[in-house]
Structure formats: C-alpha cells, structure tokens
Structure 1
C-alpha cells in the first residue's frame, strides 16, 4: 500500500478495476438497483495522496480498436460510488446493454453463496432506507395449518433480513387468504398439483422470474420437484434421517437426537436453525401477530377436530359436556364452535344435545383469515393439538391445548401469548387412539376456568 501511494504521489496514473463483489471488506451499495459490495479503495488512495479521480470507460470503435472516455470525479464526495453511478448510466442507456462490459461475470455475488444467503451483513453500508426488490426468492409453505403458523416467525425474519428480495410464497389454496391477511411476502401463489400437466406448466412458467433461491418448509418429493421445475439457482430444505433429497442443492441436516426423545427441539427451533445455516442473523420474533379484542361478554371458542391425525381428536361427547359446563357457569358466557366442513356433523350433534341460545355453530362458515379475526374476539380458545389452536395462539388469544399422543415440546403453539397445555397423566403410555380419552371434561373445565382468570 505504501508503494502504491508513493507511485501516485510521483504523478503517475493508477487504474483500479471496478469490483461489485468486494466481500466483507467492501461497502454495501446499489448497483443497477441491486445490492452489491463495492470496493472503496479509490477513496482511500485519493484521500491519502490527494490525487485526481477519473472515471475511465473504454468503448469499441473498430476491430481491435477502442477509445477511452475520461470523466473527472468530484473528490469532495465518495469517488467509488460516483464511478459506479457513471458506469450504471452507461450500461442502462446503451441500446445493446454495452456488450463491452463483462456481464457474464455475475457481479452481484456478495450475498449469493448459501452460507450468507439469508442476510445482508457487512462492515459498511451505503444502502438507502428502502431498497428495490429486484431479486426473487420462492418460499414453499407447509401443507398443514399448524405448520404454516409455526413457519411465520422464521419467514418474517427472512423477509426482514433481505429487504432487497421479492418473496413469492407458494402454498395450498386454503392458506392464501390467511397469508394475504397477515401481509406476508410480496405475492402468494397457488400453482396447483405439480403431478398434473397444468401444474407442471405453471411451475415451468415461474422460471421466467429467474429466482435465485427456493426455500422449502416441506419435506416431500412433491415440494422438491416443484423447486426443481422453477429453475431456482439454490434450493434449500431440511434433510431428516433416512430421507434423500437429491433435487435440493443444499440442506440442513439436524442431529437425530434433536428430533426425537427428551432432547427433541420444537419444530420452530428446527426451522430457525435451518435458516441460520443459510446466513440468517435476524432475531426470530414470536410476538403475537395481532392484539385480541376486549369482548363485551365472555366468549369461549371451541376448535373441534384435528385434520392431520385422528388420534389427536377428543370424543364428541366430551366436547358436548365441556360446552355444557361452560354455559352453566354463567349467563353472560357464550360458546362458539369452529372447524371445517368435516366437523359439521359433530357440531350439529353438540348443538342438538344442548339446545342453548348462547351456543353458536361456525363450523365450515369461515376461511382462515375470517377464523383468525374470530379468534381476536374470544376470551378463551380450547382445542386439540391442531392448526386452529396454533392460529389462535398467533392471534394473541388465550389458548388451551389438549394433548394426547403428540409431544407438546415439539408441536405446541410457539407464539408468546397466554397458553395452557393440558396432557392427561398416563397418556404417554396409552395407545394413540385412547390417549385423548383419558382427559375428562370436568378436569379440562376446571383448568380452563382457572386459566381464564389468571393475569395475562
């Protein structure tokens, strides 16, 4: 460096090549509306030697002939960024995109590599507050409601960590209203069944977006095949023991002890570690996504059923008895039943048995965004280990979850809202199909009533 400074002080010219991939030593800045790491070596040398700063641009004028255009830069400001501004104007304004420039060298690789993909960490930054979202990342959302809700904190952290990225969420159609309501991602799409001709065409059309990354919360070949069809440069996912994922480019493989037994981690923590494997430095926030309303009367929400595992369901007779106990506990209390079309028969049976004017059946009458809004008006929500209670918990509602064969440490709701887990003694050793029957309505009611009056 000393010899370089002396060289300049002697009145010589020093040419420094443009560098948009200066790594951690560079300064983050925009180049052609994309984030690049720009070397500030010209500024350092100019300040140390008081040399003139000139932008030089060679232009082809004939066979093996070029002319060099020189533009003097204002040394009172950062010359590195001025030079890049001059270059970007030439590139953008040329009718043939200035073929003399080495476009094939892929100039924007600072946060391209897998281990730094999910962050914009740098020692220095010259970025504006609002960044243009020119890069595209696809995110394949989970296939079950509970998993979708558990994925929200890490997804939000990813979106915050990469403000220069357009996030396109891929999901099942039933989840689109909820994701739109929560305002997650720049776009939510439902391309359809990838194993149909129409679905394959939909995913192939997504290649036109030139996604740099396809991040998968799913663990299925279906999701991997979707990612491969989109042509994303990098395809990230979770590799579980005994599962092969050859269509991914990179994956996070947790230790087996973190997945089962006493040392098992919660699913949301597994996903957090996976994101950190790919460079996420942003803190994952588990604050509720909304604030519950203060209802004019006590309203108890009952979430019937559990779609992905029948063994997690509580018998209908038990739900009916619990509703009766709630209704008899006070004239100002109302109970509302929630669920999908599959729970309509159970809800009808409960309503027919109780014949109570303060009991409302909402099964099959809400989409997921409407259900989320319903939970905001509930004083308490009770349900089995299902997507509904995860959604209730994410909305900030006071939530009670009844556990049978599943492990609360791995699948309990993860948001920082008032939460009560009820697991019957002996259910660990009971058969899966009988574990839930151990819980009695009177026991659940007693715990719910106590929890309802505890400070939040």
Structure 2
C-alpha cells in the first residue's frame, strides 16, 4: 500500500506529527509512506525510519494554476492508495481529490468534508497538536497511545557536532548546558539579557560549559547573549545543520529554550529540556517526553525570573544522565523529490 501524508508547514508541528506517522506505519506494516512537506520542513523527517520518501512542494513559490496542476498530475502518476491530510485547508483536500487518491482521510474542517472519503469530526475542545494528528490515525483503527515524538539523527550528525564543539574549545569531559534564546514570535522569547545572566550563573556557580544555539537569523542575538554572559560561553548560531543541532543538544546535560522548534528538537533527541512558556499554552504546544519540563507564566516571559530558571535547572541537572533513553539512528535516509 502506498500512503501519502500531506503534512503541515511549521517545523515544530511536523515533529509533532511523528507519533501519528509511526502509528499509521504500525497499523499498515507493509505500507510505503511518503510525506509531502514544504522544503524548510524536509530535514525534520528525512531520517525518520517510518518515512520511505519525501516530496517537497513550496506553495509560496509554485502559486500559479499551471504549477499547481503540474504538481497534481505528478502525484496522480504515483498512484497513491491513501492520503492522510494533516493540513486543515480546503485547497489541499481539493488537490488530493483531483490527484485521484481513492482514500482521503482528514478532519472535516473548512467545509471540505465532501472532498474526503473519511471525514473525521475535529476535536470539540483544543487538544495538543500531537493528539490532533494522532486523532486521524485513531480514526482508521491505529493505536494512538504512544505520544512521544522523536527526532532521528543521521550517523554522522553527532560526530560533526563533536567536531564543532571541539573547534570552539568545548571539552567532552566537562558537563555542558545548551541555551537557545531564539523564536519566531517576540512575545514567546525570554529577554536576551536574562539568557545572558543565566549563562553567567551556570559558568560561575556550577563550572558548566555553555553553548548558545540558533538559526542563521539568530546570529546577532547569539552574540548579544554571549557578550553579556561570561568568558568561555560560545555561540553556534547559524553554524549547524538541523541534524548537527540535534547532535549538540544530545551532548548536553540540559537544554534551556523558548517555545520554538529547536526546543522540540532537544526533546526529540532525548536531551533533558527546560522549556520556557509565556503567552502560549504548553498543554497545546508544549514538549512531550520523559525528560521534558516546562516553566511558564501566563503573565508573559518578562515575569519569569533568572534565579527561578536557574534553580529549576539545578534540580534537573541533579538527575543522572544515564536515565536518558538510548538514541536511535536511522540506517540510511529517505529519498527526496524537489519539484
């Protein structure tokens, strides 16, 4: 059976879909699963062992009717038996109908129920994104009890991460804390000055090494935090691939981060993680994992104090590292199409 999963557009949400993909694969063990994602989300799933193939389609760049129709024809040629529409939109459901996929499963949102062969009633109350995606797997009879999402590293990711750390003077025999101060939405960010103060406390009171991580767009932010902290703190903002970022976080005794994609990468590789939440609701988008912890304030990120975060971090650091789950790598990687 050939199954297509039309995924969503944000990296964190795509990672949230991993338990549903796993449940679908287990329910249809002989199936070949293809995931359709935007190019920026491809790296989230490229090493996932439940995904055989990845198709990247950028709807922002391929917006003309001729480009969309060409893409639909390309899907039709692949003769998928079933599609799960994790995306809520009407247009995606219409595209799958036009692609001639016989079984089309999705939530009955945006008045698109008539385009689906199995229109699932959406949750009546807000649920965590993981559970939202699992609901579609459950609707087909799959076991939806495993809610943990995992980010799979390729075989070379950790060794390249080690090389990056060594090049910056980070010693493998000393404990490491990673902080990730970035985020796509300013109200979700803890102030950079407080991250700098937190890094200084780690260095001066515990002797831990501190590494700042982030995307290329976070380079100035990383330098700001670094300069305001203490000697020896380094920034890897913009210097890692997504897999290398996971490798760096895997090496850490603790990751402290805002509600953002890299925080979920840390959880996905099994790193002890302290996630800071302000205006967003952790019960809907928070981390799910045996070593994931949340510190939140409904009054906003400014209400979270440095000493409070440091105290909670020390409590988590007291937990032995060997209690973390073993990390699994994928042997090989998914193939990819880039129309």
Query: Is TM (by shorter chain) over 0.5?
Result: yes
Answer yes or no: is the 8 Å Cα contact 1:236–1:249 preserved in 2: yes
- In 2, Cα distance between the equivalents of 1:339 and 1:219? 29
| 1:343-380 residue CA offsets vs partner (Å, 9 max, x unmatched) | 122112122333622x2211122222222222211110
Look up the SS of the partner of 2:201 in the other structure. helix
- In 2, Cα distance between the equivalents of 1:440 and 1:217? 37
Pick closer, same or farther for the CA change 1:384–1:153 going to 2, 3 Å.
Answer: same
Map of 1:65-144 to 2, 5 A cutoff? 135-144=1-10
Matched, 1:316 2:192: yes
Q: Which residue in 2 is equivalent to 1:219?
A: 88
TM-score, scaled to structure 2: 0.81
Corresponding residue to 1:449 among 314, 318, 329: 314
Look up the SS of the partner of 1:195 in the other structure. coil
| 1:105-132 residue CA offsets vs partner (Å, 9 max, x unmatched) | xxxxxxxxxxxxxxxxxxxxxxxxxxxx
- In 1, Cα distance between the equivalents of 2:303 and 2:42? 37
| 1:229-261 residue CA offsets vs partner (Å, 9 max, x unmatched) | 432112222245xx32254343222342x31xx
Look up the SS of the partner of 2:294 in the other structure. strand
- In 1, Cα distance between the equivalents of 2:52 and 2:204? 47
Pairwise CA RMSD? 2.5
| 1:125-166 residue CA offsets vs partner (Å, 9 max, x unmatched) | xxxxxxxxxx21111222112211111111112112212221
Map of 1:43-82 to 2, 5 A cutoff? none
Cα offset for 1:285? Answer: 5.7
Q: Which residue in 2 is equivalent to 1:343?
A: 218
Corresponding residue to 1:383 among 241, 257, 261: 257
Answer yes or no: is the 8 Å Cα contact 2:11–2:40 preserved in 1: no
Corresponding residue to 2:271 among 374, 378, 397: 397
Q: Which residue in 2 is equivalent to 1:207?
A: 76
Pick closer, same or farther for the CA change 1:311–1:157 going to 2, 3 Å.
Answer: same
Q: How many residues align?
A: 302
Look up the SS of the partner of 1:232 in the other structure. coil
Structure with the greater alpha carbon radius of gyration: 1
Pick closer, same or farther for the CA change 1:366–1:231 going to 2, 3 Å.
Answer: farther
Q: Which residue in 1 is equivalent to 2:168?
A: none
Cα offset for 1:290? Answer: 6.4
Cα offset for 1:289? Answer: 5.6
Task: Say which structure, 1 or 2, has more relative contact order (CA 8 Å, 6+ apart).
Answer: 2
What runs of 5+ residues in structure 1 fail to find an aligned partner? Answer: 1-134, 260-264
- In 2, Cα distance between the equivalents of 1:356 and 1:224? 54
Map of 1:251-290 to 2, 5 A cutoff? 251-256=119-124, 258-259=125-126, 265-281=127-143, 283-284=145-146, 286=148
What runs of 5+ residues in structure 2 fail to find an aligned partner? Answer: 163-171, 324-339
Q: Which residue in 2 is equivalent to 1:363?
A: 237
Answer yes or no: is the 8 Å Cα contact 1:160–1:282 preserved in 2: no
- In 2, Cα distance between the equivalents of 1:148 and 1:185? 13
TM-score, scaled to structure 1: 0.61
Pick closer, same or farther for the CA change 1:278–1:348 going to 2, 3 Å.
Answer: same
